[in-house]
Amino acid sequence: MSNISLDYVRKSYGPSEVIHGISGSIQQGEFVVIVGPSGCGKSTLLRMIAGLESITGGEIQIGKRVVNKLEPAQRNIAMVFQNYALYPHMSVFDNMSYGLKIRKVPKEEIRRRVEETAEILELTPYLKRSPRQLSGGQRQRVAMGRAIVREPDVFLFDEPLSNLDAKLRVQMRLEIKKLQERLGITSVYVTHDQVEAMTLGHRLMVLNAGSVEQFGTPIDLYDKPATLFVATFIGSPAMNILNGTVSEDASSIILPEGEVIPLGMRLNAQAGASVNLGMRPEHIRLATNGNALFSFKSDVIEELGADTIIHADFGKATSSMAVRLDGIHRVSSGTQFSFAIDPENLHVFDPESGKRIN
């Protein structure tokens, strides 16, 4: 078990830089998820920690060692790949024991460790089979077993669940979380799925175009997204972003048609400056007795049973507006609704830099 620290890590391919100086530290036993859209450099970063990609600049430390120049084998890490990368010509047992054999662990101990791990992952009946005789979920477990059995300092996961079907994905997600808690091994997990990221990680590192947008707990990211990117990336349906301007006294936002949304605080911004106002669909309520802040006509209604999602083409929003109401609301499209929202649930961003300003 080890901590990992990244110090201004950079990666370029020729003249183009794909990772622009990422820093952050991962505590011992922590489960950190690197999340971002495809092409943001999250897999590259993970592969740099693994030693599969060279490091152009900066420093990566695992435990007390700087690993920049170390081969993957010397870093005492284990990695689970997206396509599992099981050795097809070996049985499950041989797949799991390959790394131990290379490290010249005594035969007896190899047997004991593989059997223990197989027990944990419920793979005991399959030890003699070859990978192609296993289902996707079982292969996934063998890949994890191969990682666990080595008792590495660090686990790395490269989108390990994206080849599974939706149901299995949810199930394996839970298993991974339980397993990581039980073993307490420092883990770094890469995914593009924000739900996976939110449920698994102790902390999330949100990457966008090779830079860290925010690095914090799931609740931090949800409650106080540091940038517009994080705000729209985390949460489903995505946060509504509205255009507005700062009022005279800088304590409320004025929407284009004059609706005033009080912030309950003073913004450190010029009056009349344009801003983006973020509201999560689940924080918007139906207005009661005259506290309505804004209103619009519904467009499409999605009735999901547990909640109802109202979509509307609200001119002030940057894209279609969504409101999520608890429970069942029997309404037809084209109905006029009035809405309210609590000031503490508002997010204000500078449209230029995308940074949070409230």
Partner 1 sequence: MIKRVHFPSSPLPYLLVAPQIAITIVFFIWPAGQAMYQSFLIEDAFGFGREFVWFENFEILFEDPLYADVFIRTIFFSVMVAALSMFLSLILAGFADRVVKGATIYRTLLIWPYAVAPVLAGALWVFMFNPSVGIIAYWLDLIGVDWNHFLNGGQAMALIVFAASWKQIAYNFLFYLAAMQAIPKSMIEAAAIDGAGPAKRFWTIIFPLVSPTTFFLLVINIVYAFFDTFGIIHAVTEGGPAGSTVTLVYKVYSDGFIGLDLGGSAAQSVILMAMVIGLTVIQFRYVERRVDY
**Interface ranges with partner 1 (CB under 8 A):** 50-52, 71-73, 77-79, 81-83, 85-89, 98-99, 102-103, 131-132, 146, 150
* Closer to partner 1 by Cβ: residue 69 or 89: 89
Residues in the chain: 358
* Closer to partner 1 by Cβ: residue 98 or 222: 98
* Closer to partner 1 by Cβ: residue 47 or 280: 47
Least separation, in Å, of the C-beta of 147 and partner 1?
9
Least separation, in Å, of the C-beta of 106 and partner 1?
16
CA dist 229 to 191, 241, 318, 336, Å? Answer: 16, 11, 13, 30
* Closer to partner 1 by Cβ: residue 41 or 235: 41
* Closer to partner 1 by Cβ: residue 79 or 275: 79
Cβ pair 273, 246 in contact under 8 A? yes
How many Å apart are CA 145 and CA 123, to the nearest integer?
9
Least separation, in Å, of the C-beta of 196 and partner 1?
20
SS3 20: strand
CA dist 168 to 80, 157, 158, Å? Answer: 17, 17, 17
Least separation, in Å, of the C-beta of 301 and partner 1?
45
Least separation, in Å, of the C-beta of 172 and partner 1?
18
CB atoms within 10 A of CB 227: 18
How many Å apart are CA 219 and CA 203, to the nearest integer?
9
* Closer to partner 1 by Cβ: residue 74 or 291: 74
Least separation, in Å, of the C-beta of 59 and partner 1?
21
Residue that has been written with the tokens 């971002």 in this structure: 36
CA dist 180 to 6, 18, 95, Å? Answer: 22, 30, 21
How many Å apart are CA 214 and CA 233, to the nearest integer?
11
Least separation, in Å, of the C-beta of 125 and partner 1?
21
* Closer to partner 1 by Cβ: residue 148 or 261: 148
Cβ pair 69, 61 in contact under 8 A? no
User: What one-character DSSP code corresponds to residue 227?
Assistant: B
Structure tokens at 116: 């223990």
CB atoms within 10 A of CB 197: 24
